[in-house]
Chain A
Amino acid sequence: MAESTLLFTKSHEWVSADGDVATIGVSDYAQNELGDIVFVELPEVGKSVSAGDVLTSIESVKSVSELYTPLTGEIVEVNTSLDDAPETINTDPMGDGWILRIKMSDPSELDDLMDSDAYASLTKG
């Protein structure tokens, strides 16, 4: 996945849009902060969400973190491999550790997100 197609949120989610379907995961910075991830409660396929909603919780040994959607739309796919192997988020957060896919109802919401360079500055600061 080319870095340039990636967008990021301030809350450390990454978004990769392909047409009107956006794949969402958490960044390498986020998985490192979370530590060993032990549970991901995947939301239901078909669920409608609005930008800013909590999609799910990601549980690490020490804490729980919420995953937010920056996009409005419908959940069309979830990464069921995370049920048995939640640690994939730690080992491959940008690839096999993707969490879910949303069919966007308003792709202009992508304009509010930051690109890789801007996100890199955020996490270096």
Chain B
Amino acid sequence: MGADTAAVRKTPLHDVHVALGARLVEFAGFTMPITYDGIVAEHTRVRQSVGLFDVSHMGEIHVRGDGAMGFIESITTNRAAALEPGFVQYSAMCYEDGGFIDDLLVYRLCDSYMLVVNAANHDKDTDWIRAHAGVDVEIDDASDRTALIAVQGPRAEAVAGGLVAGDLSSLGYYRSIETTVLGRNAVVSRTGYTGEDGFEIYCEPDFARDVWEAFANAGRPVGIGPAGLGARDTLRLEMGYALYGNDIDETRNPVEANLMWITRLKKGDFAGRDAIAAAKEAGPPSKLVGFEIEGRGIPRHGYPILVGGEPRGEVTSGTFSPSLQKGIGMGYVPAGTAGEIGVEIRGAAVPARIVELPFYKDGSVRNSR
């Protein structure tokens, strides 16, 4: 698994995963649970009831100081000025050539902006952030001091309501509160990566286990259970959410990745703005699309996509959708491609069809409120 000599790290919930019999793998330098009782079972649990995810491996970077908002505006694609206290937005950081450094969440908290980044990109992101920060900005990498538990599913609010201080029913989608859970400080947001209603709970590492166990107990009557990275991937892919490293990376820009909805070209200058604007003007040669396999077959990362029988694109993410019971995937195809395509699966051209995202349309996520 590479010549990395750095020790693999554990999250604050490691012992819980071991006790639950999780299949553990190394991911982004952390030992993480891929599954506990099966990806399909965990996926179904989140869609029908509620699941608990340990995502403590992710990075949390606080930005403070008089120049904080302006700085974030200058290094992200979305409009940070629109963030009132308690607002959260999905955003991206790009290089000057428009290629993605990472996708992330930006929180406006009471005394800081908090950037929540992918674990795999932690070092790259913090290096970039520090290199571009001016003297009027203070960067505080709190990743090692922050545990993160996601509670996701239609029953999430019913379970969380008794544990999180405050009225969760009035906490809107992509809003956060700084509150307490069982008397200890926590940031709680109505956000997630599953397409279901739910919350992400940021707390101190020494308290993470108490939070997990409190949710496990409170949710027992509705069948709460753990969910690992395997189910996290099938859930997000059913929603058409991008995964850095698969669907977006340094070679892709927001125009071709269909992420112009988080890119505010008119907000002023930001890293990558000119290149992105030029790409939009020119029209990119490729576009990210979602597709469903017709018949049998599972598309996987790297498989060629055939248009008119010729290899013209490639799959960036693929899986078997537990909810739809068919192969689904995302990938780049020549801009303007629509309708029937093929996916080359172990030498055979398997028919597929480009579809509108999300694949799964019955999620309880509150994005219409």
Identify the closest chain A residue to B38 (Cβ): A36
State which residues 55-111 of A face B: CB under 8 Å: 57, 59, 61-62, 64, 90
Residues of chain B within 8 A (CB-CB) of A90 are 38
Contact A59 B320 (CB under 8 A): yes
Residues of chain A within 8 A (CB-CB) of B23 are 35
Contact B298 A39 (CB under 8 A): yes
Contact B298 A38 (CB under 8 A): yes
User: Does B319 count as interface, using CB distance less than 8 angstroms?
Assistant: yes
Chain B min CB distance to A28 (Å): 14
Identify the closest chain B residue to A41 (Cβ): B296
Main secondary structure of the interface of B (DSSP, over half): mixed
- Please judge, given known A-B contacts A36-B38, A36-B39, A36-B40, whether A61 and B296 are in contact too, CB under 8 Å: no
Interface size class of B (residues with CB under 8 A): 10 to 19
Bound-state CA distance A57–B296 (Å) is 12
Contact B38 A35 (CB under 8 A): yes
Count of residues in A whose CB is under 8 Å from the partner chain: 11
Residues of chain B within 8 A (CB-CB) of A59 are 298, 320
Bound-state CA distance A38–B328 (Å) is 13
Contact B234 A61 (CB under 8 A): yes
Identify the closest chain A residue to B42 (Cβ): A36
Contact partner of A62 (CB less than 8 A), chosen from B39, B41, B296, is B39
Contact B346 A61 (CB under 8 A): no
Chain A min CB distance to B35 (Å): 6
Identify the closest chain A residue to B322 (Cβ): A61
Residues of chain A within 8 A (CB-CB) of B298 are 38-39, 59, 64
Residues of chain A within 8 A (CB-CB) of B230 are 35, 61-62
State which residues 20-43 of B face A: CB under 8 Å: 23, 34-35, 38-41
Identify the closest chain A residue to B23 (Cβ): A35
User: Does B300 count as interface, using CB distance less than 8 angstroms?
Assistant: yes
Bound-state CA distance A59–B40 (Å) is 13
State which residues 190-248 of B face A: CB under 8 Å: 230, 233-234
Bound-state CA distance A74–B45 (Å) is 43
Contact B39 A61 (CB under 8 A): yes
Task: Determine which residue in A38, A57, A59, A90 has the highest number of CB atoms from chain B within 10 A of its CB, and name it.
Answer: A38
State which residues 323-369 of B face A: CB under 8 Å: 346
Q: B-side interface residues toward A, CB under 8 Å? A: 23, 34-35, 38-41, 230, 233-234, 296-298, 300, 319-320, 322, 346
Query: Which 9 A-B residue pairs are closest in the complex by CB-CB distance?
Result: A36-B40, A38-B320, A61-B39, A59-B298, A36-B38, A61-B320, A36-B39, A62-B230, A35-B39
Some 5 contacts from A to B, beta carbons below 8 A apart, are: A36-B38, A39-B296, A61-B39, A62-B39, A64-B346
Extra inter-chain contacts (6) besides given A59-B298, A62-B233, CB under 8 Å: A35-B38, A35-B39, A36-B38, A36-B39, A41-B296, A64-B346
